[in-house]
């Protein structure tokens, strides 16, 4: 295999797997893919990619990963949906080890460009408490009051990226990702995000005939959700651009959690009785992406409609759910 020119970390995960799939269409044989998990358990794996199992919390593993590459897409992180990040704050903060060691490795090994996958969790919580959603602009990250744990780590790592650019000339590109969803990702087990969790619950209702769903919170929390194809397109555009400040990468189309359930149940062809778990983790009341800057700087913004993306996502999760049910032993 030829020497890799591009490194994708977190490649065994949801976004990383899709990004490798997108990059290899234009750069076959030029990609090194790295993840903590063994390659056989990755969501997507490709034979023409240099696939490696490395623990990027360890500096020597970051050095190995960055050897000889020109561009690094740093997506590796210990994270999940709101239920995970609210209950694993220390684990999420330890992601700073990955980002620190990867920046050092990039600088020492001569990489030219470094993409950092940040998050909308960096935004000031006071701007997200009301029932009405005001789209978040890039400068709304300060004064700093991000999501506790995960959001603080992301915001700190953004600053570290900035200073590596200032001090060492590393070309940094940063995207603040807003609620990415789609197939080939976590849909059960506690790390899944709201679209995948709701698709799974609807699939279970269809399969069991028990048309009931439990919703975390009161159903009125409002979000924007970006389909994975928009995400990978945006990442590549941002990496290729001259924009050296963080950019929102998210959909501007918003929906309540109840509205998201409406979309999924319509696709499934059922109607659900709803109960609301008010003590469950829900995050902020409202969050949406202001896409003014990305449109001005790149002439592009995420535009795949929610209904189109959820249709594909539900179909994949429904198949995954049925396949798992067939494998599991059932009590009589």
Q: What SS3 string covers the chain?
A: CCCCCEEEECCCCHHHHHHHHHHCCCCCCCEEEEECCCHHHCCCCCCCCEEEECCCCCHHHHHHHHCCCCEEEECCCCCCCHHHHCCCHHHHHCHHHHHHHHHHHHHHHCCCEEEEEEEHHHCCHHHHCCCCCCCECHHHHCCCCCCCCHHHHHHHHHHHHHHHHHHHCCEEEEEEECCEECCCCCCCCCCCCHHHHHHHHHHHHHHHCCCEEEEECCCCCEEECEEHHHHHHHHHHHHHCCCCCCEEECCCCEEEHHHHHHHHHHHHCCCCEEEEECCCCCCCCECCECCHHHHHHHCCCCCCCHHHHHHHHHHHHHHHHHHHHHHCCCCC
Taken in order 139, 143, 147, 151, the sign of the CA dihedral is positive
Tell which phi-psi region holds residue 169, choosing left (phi > 0), alpha (psi between -120 and 50) or beta.
Answer: left
Decide if 289 contacts 251 (C-beta within 8 A): yes
Tell which phi-psi region holds residue 299, choosing left (phi > 0), alpha (psi between -120 and 50) or beta.
Answer: left
Decide if 136 contacts 246 (C-beta within 8 A): no
Q: Which amino acids are annotated catalytic?
A: 150
Distance CA 97, CA 314 (A): 35
The token pair at 191 is 């790390």
């Amino acid at each position: 295999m030829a020497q890799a020119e591009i490194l994708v970390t977190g490649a065994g995960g949801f976004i990383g797997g899709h990004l490798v799939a997108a990059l290899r269409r234009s750069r076959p044989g030029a990609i090194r893919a790295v993840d903590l998990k063994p390659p056989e358990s990755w969501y997507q794996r490709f034979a023409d990619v240099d696939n490696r199992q490395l623990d990027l919390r360890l500096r020597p593993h970051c050095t190995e990963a960055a050897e000889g590459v020109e561009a690094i897409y740093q997506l590796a992180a210990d994270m999940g949906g709101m239920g995970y990040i609210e209950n694993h704050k220390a684990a999420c903060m330890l992601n700073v080890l990955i980002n620190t060691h990867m920046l050092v490795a990039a600088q020492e090994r001569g990489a030219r460009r470094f993409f950092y996958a940040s998050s909308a969790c960096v935004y000031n919580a006071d701007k997200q408490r009301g029932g009405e959603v005001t789209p978040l602009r890039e400068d709304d990250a300060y004064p700093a009051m991000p999501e506790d744990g995960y959001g603080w780590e992301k915001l700190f790592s953004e600053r570290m990226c900035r200073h590596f650019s200032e001090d060492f000339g590393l070309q940094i590109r940063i995207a603040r990702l807003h609620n990415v969803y789609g197939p080939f990702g976590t849909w059960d087990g506690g790390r899944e995000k709201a679209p995948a969790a709701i698709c799974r619950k609807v699939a279970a209702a269809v399969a069991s005939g028990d048309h009931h769903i439990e919703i975390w919170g009161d159903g009125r929390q409002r979000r924007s959700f970006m389909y994975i194809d928009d995400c990978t397109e945006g990442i590549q555009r941002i990496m290729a651009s001259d924009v050296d400040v963080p950019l929102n990468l998210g959909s501007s189309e918003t929906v309540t959690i109840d509205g998201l359930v409406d979309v999924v149940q319509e696709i499934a062809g059922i109607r659900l009785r709803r109960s609301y778990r008010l003590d469950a983790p829900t995050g902020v009341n409202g969050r949406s992406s202001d896409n003014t800057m990305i449109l001005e700087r790149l002439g592009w913004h995420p535009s795949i409609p929610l209904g189109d993306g959820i249709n594909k996502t539900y179909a994949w999760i429904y198949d995954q759910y049925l396949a798992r049910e067939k494998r599991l032993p059932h009590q009589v």
